[in-house]
Amino acid sequence: FLVICTALVAAFIPNIGLLVSLAGASSGTSLALIFPPLLEVSISKQHGVVMSLPRWMFCMISMTIGIVGALLGTFLSLSDIISTIQDTN
């Protein structure tokens, strides 16, 4: 199954850079801006630690920026991939 999926991706996406940008937009942004503050908020709740308001706001703003960036980057990467596929046909 994985070999077939890899062959299909290689056949339809001739530029590997587009696929790398898609992976970076979705996973890179999540690892850098979404998961760290999410973990900090959830761990502090689990242990009963009350976060200060500025720290909580910083976590929420970081997650919001990360979510918007991930969605926007993923959308732009997918639109580039789709336009490249349409241009080759």
pLDDT at residue 50 in the model: 93
> In 1-89, where does DSSP find H-type helix?
2-12, 16-23, 29, 35-46, 53-88
pLDDT at residue 12 in the model: 82
Q: What's the average pLDDT block by block, 10 residues per block, for the chain (89 residues)? A: 90 85 89 94 94 96 95 94 83
Alpha carbon distance 67, 74 (integer Å): 10
pLDDT at residue 85 in the model: 83
The separation between the first and the last C-alpha atoms of the chain, rounded to the nearest angstrom, is 26
The single residue listed with the structure tokens 């790398």 is: 20
Q: Are 35 and 2 in contact (CB under 8 A)?
A: no
